Structure 1
């Protein structure tokens, strides 16, 4: 990490924390909902319900058909604000030793600062992943599990749910997959779709691959030996299995994220609820986005942040009274959105 000389400026610290890679999160690793910088803390999503029709024959030179462009409407959403504080106190450094490259040396301010920046990056990274998971569920929540936006209510569409009934041996699983794909492809309305993919929890995944109809299909397939060997993808810290069936890529998302309640206790919320998951279209142009707004700071008013796939974190500093230490305030302003939640299918099993 480059040496930072006191006094630490906001620009220096912001640059340093944004250089740290975000290696956490399956959705981040898959590139779902890439970041888009905004100069405003408000996002307007416009859409037009135009109708595409098959044209009828007309005599050459005659009047052509006129298609209604539909009424353009818009939804305005506010980008949530997430903050985190870290302190570096004299007691964290003074008189302490550490081992660096096999050598015992005094703890330095730069080394302690680097540790704090890594902690800050991790906190904001898992928050970004948590928002994207909520986006796929259609209900975006914050770290206290308060609902920020229910996308189905915001866009006025009905949630599509399909019960795969994987506990029943006679269930036609391929037909269930076809129902899911049909719903997605009939609602894309001008978007592009490269494929259909999903994220499901371990229980749903295990029941899917062991269902009698699924096992029978692969045993009878010419390339059964290939498909019976499940692939594992080590993406974003997730060591989940991947399985393609019914023209859908099924991804297992293990683990959960820590959240803090009002009383300060920490619990783990599963990335995907038991026996459930979400199927979504992949390869779209702009259906999924993570909007990054400007920092809530007088120096950044109406300035779009510099955003890449890792997002943007802004850090400001304050020297504590009487020189006892340094306070770091970090913030990110982000909102993950699916602009067409009627293309999401929530799957479950009994």
Structure 2
């Protein structure tokens, strides 16, 4: 192999160090990732069993002292299997990309590492966007592939039907706060769990219709001298104890949230949103807990290039999908 490519035989470019490098590159989060909704955890397998329990709470009947207590039975449970997705990317670094950028007969490893790290950063960015796409899909109820085909229908998998609620924004006399409260109650009844708060992720038409509705506009007419009515509110504002924001994610021309819909999302519910990472399909990773990203390299044909691979193997899932309410106009 030419000296210009021999540097890749250095331990700095081993699967361990490349994997460490791609996990340490600058993270440019999408909106869902930045909210911290999803709990991340590595797993040692490529599938996850989610056990669904119906937690029953009941009033304990009063009895005479010394009487036999009321029996408590176990919760009914059923398990549903989910597979992680395999997201591999490949790239090629040609000898011509590094030859001439250093003195012949030297191994300026720092320069070569910079080329590798730039390529790993591009690969990681692509994986990050895909994970964001899958996470909003888990919230909406359908996780899609890059071509728009359905990888996972969350509601079908759990045998559930998505809950939908209209805010009647097309009617001026609608009491919007009341309609929002009805949606919150639908979620609370489905969850039977403690909720820290709610956030509504809105498509652009829905968001504009909500902001412009008389009941909402009137509520902010006197707040801070009507500041929200003068400025762009898409970054988010509070109404009826819900944080409303426009979600602008898009991939290959496909919007993550439909223009005329919004999704009422509970926050702070334990184990509701999970991201599990399975190990890479390398011999080195067998029996280990998965990491968010992996990278590996091998020499190309005739020593003219080095081939890079980066991959992630995530499962992004909402384990309590009926707690999310689809909001319509």
TM-score, length-scaled by structure 2 = 0.89
Q: 1:129 to 1:210 in 2, by over 3 A?
A: same
1:44 aligns with 2:18: no
In structure 1, the partner of 2:185 is 182
Note if contact 1:295-1:333 (Cα within 8 Å) is conserved in structure 2: yes
| Equivalent pair of 2:51/2:80 in contact (CA under 8 Å) | yes
Structure 2 residue 237 is matched with structure 1 residue 243: yes
Match of 2:143 in 1: 140
2:299·2:305 contact (CA, 8 Å) conserved in 1?
Answer: yes
Residue of structure 1 in register with 2:118 after alignment: 115
Using the alignment, how far apart are the partners of 1:159 and 1:130 within structure 2? 19
- Relative distance call for 1:47 and 1:118 in structure 2 (3 A) is same
- Tell me whether 1:315 sits opposite 2:300 in the alignment: no
How much does 1:12 deviate? Answer: 1.1
More helix by share: 2
Match for residue 166 of structure 2 among 163, 166, 173:
163
SS of the counterpart of 2:306?
strand
Structure 2 counterpart of 1:212: 214
Q: 2:202 aligns with which of 200, 203, 218?
A: 200
- 1:247-286 equivalences in 2 (<5 Å): 247-257=241-251, 267-286=252-271
Contact 1:232 / 1:242 at 8 angstroms: preserved in 2? Answer: no
Structure-1 residue corresponding to 2:312: 332
Task: Determine which structure has the larger strand proportion and give its number.
Answer: 1
1:13 aligns with 2:7: no
In structure 1, what is the Cα distance between the partners aligned to 2:97 and 2:149? 35
Question: Counterparts of 2:22 and 2:49 in 1: how far apart (Å)?
Answer: 29
The number of aligned residues is 315
Please list every run of 5 or more consecutive structure 2 residues that lacks an aligned counterpart in the other structure: 1-5, 103-109
Give the Å deviation of 1:269.
Answer: 1.5
Residue 33 of structure 1, CA deviation: 0.8
The 3 A distance-change label for structure 1 pair 230 and 218 is: closer
Change (3 A) 1:93 1:13: same
Mark the runs of 5 or more structure 1 residues left unpaired by the alignment. Answer: 98-106, 234-238, 258-266, 307-311
SS state at 1:280 partner: strand
Query: Deviation string for 1:5-49 (max 9, x for gaps)?
Result: 532211111111110132230011110112111111110111222
Is this contact kept in 1: 2:164–2:325, CA < 8 A? yes
d(CA) in 2 for partners of 1:303 and 1:117? 22
* Aligned partners of 1:287 and 1:338 also within 8 Å: yes
Partner of residue 261, structure 1: none
Give the aligned partner of residue 225 of structure 1. 224
Q: Distance in 2 between matches of 1:338 and 1:231?
A: 37
Distance 2:218 2:136 in 1: 33
Q: 1:345 to 1:227 in 2, by over 3 A?
A: farther
> Which of 67, 71, 86 is the aligned partner of 1:66?
71
Show structure 1 runs of 4+ deviating over 4 A.
230-233
CA drift at 1:302: 2.0
Q: TM-score, normalising length from structure 1?
A: 0.84
Measured after TM superposition, the shift of residue 70 of structure 1 is 3.0
Q: Distance in 2 between matches of 1:227 and 1:59?
A: 62
Distance 2:99 2:303 in 1: 13
In 2: Cα distance, 1:202 partner to 1:319 partner: 48
Query: In the alignment, is the contact (CA less than 8 A) between 2:197 and 2:267 conserved in 1?
Result: yes
Query: Is the contact made by 1:256 and 1:269 (CA closer than 8 Å) also made in structure 2?
Result: yes
Residues 227/29 of structure 1: CA separation in 2 closer, same or farther (3 Å cut): farther
> 1:231: how far off?
11
Higher mean alpha-carbon deviation, 87-96 vs 149-158, is at 87-96
- Of 40, 55, 59, which residue of structure 1 is paired with 2:60? 55
